[in-house]
Amino acid sequence: MSPAALALHDLHHAYGRRAALAGVSLELHPGEIVALLGPSGCGKTTLLRIAAGLERPAAGDVHAGGRRLAGPDLFVEPEDRGIGLVFQDYALFPHLDVAANVGFGLAGRPRAEIRATVADLLDRIGLADRGRSYPHMLSGGEQQRVALARALAPRPAVLLMDEPFSNLDQRLRRGMRAETAALLRASGAAALLVTHDPDDALAVADRIALMRDGVLAQVGTPEEVWHHPVDRGAAAVFADLEELPATVRRGRAETALGGFAAPGVPDGPALVCLHRDAFDLAAVGDFTATVSATRFVGEHRIVRLVVDGLPRPVDTRVDARRPVAIGGRVSVAIDRSRAFVFPPDRPPEDLRHPAAPAPDVSDFRPCRGVAAGAGDGRHHEV
């Protein structure tokens, strides 16, 4: 088996007294895209900088393609690593035009080869005619593409990306995710993408590594981390959760909303976590609820339900064409496969970035009493 494109082994790092990494190990296979997902301050950028050689680990090893790059007795400078890095602010050289930026990492190669490589890359990112432009003349999306092309130009076996989409607006971001993934696949480079946005991770990654407080909480395919979160925090990364106190008896968790399957969970008190889209307004449901507020968000309508037997109201979405009256009684069904049961001794940590919106409920503050149509109709990111 070929050696890992990038192998990080038991990395430790601290800034002053504050530990940033507390024993992180991660391997990237050749050509694989891994997303490092976690809230800001969890240490993911430190991990990236250590892999790039911009930071020296306090302990642990870094290997790339079988070559040792950092360890207690060794430190290879970033320029000698052959690893690409796309910066969050893109860090395009303002005094060089686009072509010179893309060709920067090719210094020393024959001029004709540089010209051909640059032309090819500019063509692939759709900026073939912008080679003589300067970075400040480009839009944010164009700058992002140039930064990506520049990092790919020397054909690195590993590419690191630091929040590559965070400076783009929502609409542009969707397109850039697909474009970036395609470019990465075509280049064959293994990529480690640092992000706090679960949508970035789900859109481009082969595997997702969930990070919090300097350690990896879970590593797996998007399906694995989505369907089988290791704990409440891991589940909360991808969606808002509704929590129900429960008692587990012989593999079944009993709550105010009925029983849920809890295979392997020990008997005793537990917590049932429901994805918010587990609630469905059905003609014939298990429970009844009162609609306390609604908000039109385009394709969907977000409905706030006060479910009988639940301490807090629940937000769920329904088809926008379906009429819902405030104060009306509705029938609610629960998709019990969208529930996770965790033993209660897990610390109730929220892995999700506090400012990262869950899909489609971004302007709805679930925990406060929001009256429908309160005049704040704009769709603002938080």
Partner 1 sequence: MPRRPALLPALDGFGLFGALVGLLAVAPIAALVALAAGGDGPWRHLFTTVVPAATVDTALLALGVAAFVAVVGTGSAWLVATRDFPGRRLLEVLLLLPLAFPAYVLAYSWLDLLHPIGPLQTALRGLLGYSRPADLRLPDLRSLPGAILVFGFALYPYVHVATRTVFLSRAAGPVEAARMLGARSSRVFFRVALPLARPAVAAGCALAVMETLNDVGAAEFLSVNTLTAAVYSTWINRSDLPGAAQIALAMLIFLLSLLMLERIARGGRGYAVAGRATRRLEPRRVGGARGVALFVVGLMPALFGFLVPALHLVWQAADRLAFAGLAEDIARETRDTVLLAATATALGVAAAAVLVSGRRLHPGSPLHAAAPRIASIGYAVPGTVLAIGLLAVYGAVDAGVRALVVDLGGAPTGLLLSASFAGLVIALCLRFFRLAAAGIETAADRLPVTLDQSARVLGRGRFAVMRAVHLPLLTPAYAGAALLFFVDCMKELPATLLLRPLGFETLSTHLYGEAARGTYENGALAACLIVAFGLLPIVVVTRIGRDAARPRTAPPGLSASPAVGRGAA
Indicate whether 93 belongs to the interface with partner 1 (CB under 8 A): yes
The dihedral over CA atoms of 51, 55, 60, 61, expressed in degrees to the nearest 10, equals 40
For the bound state, the minimum distance from the C-beta of residue 328 to partner 1, rounded and expressed in Å, comes to 33
For the bound state, the minimum distance from the C-beta of residue 214 to partner 1, rounded and expressed in Å, comes to 20
Q: Please, what is the end-to-end C-alpha distance for the chain in angstroms?
A: 45
Complex with partner 1: residue 139 or 337, whichever CB lies closer: 139
Indicate whether 275 belongs to the interface with partner 1 (CB under 8 A): no
Indicate whether 357 belongs to the interface with partner 1 (CB under 8 A): yes
For the bound state, the minimum distance from the C-beta of residue 323 to partner 1, rounded and expressed in Å, comes to 31
Among 17, 95, 321, 368, binds partner 1 (CB under 8 A): 95
Indicate whether 65 belongs to the interface with partner 1 (CB under 8 A): no
The helix (H) or strand (E) run that includes residue 288 is: strand 287-297
For the bound state, the minimum distance from the C-beta of residue 341 to partner 1, rounded and expressed in Å, comes to 31
Q: At what angle do helices 170-187 and 140-152 cross, to 10 degrees?
A: 20
Complex with partner 1: residue 25 or 133, whichever CB lies closer: 133
For the bound state, the minimum distance from the C-beta of residue 267 to partner 1, rounded and expressed in Å, comes to 41
Among 72, 188, 251, 373, binds partner 1 (CB under 8 A): 72
Q: How many residues bind partner 1 (CB under 8 A)?
A: 49
Q: Is the dihedral of CA 113, 114, 117, 123 positive or negative?
A: negative
Complex with partner 1: residue 51 or 273, whichever CB lies closer: 51
What's the rounded Cα separation, in Å, for the pair 288 and 309?
10
Give exposure, 333-363, as e/b (b: 16+ Cβ within 10 Å): ebeeebbbbbeeeeeeeebbbeebbbebbeb
What one-letter code names the amino acid at 279? F
Q: Is residue 290 classed as helix, strand or coil in its secondary structure?
A: strand
What one-letter code names the amino acid at 20? A
Residues contributing to the site for partner 1 (CB under 8 A): 52-54, 56, 72-85, 87-95, 104-105, 107, 134-136, 140, 143, 150-151, 154, 166-170, 197, 355-357, 381-382
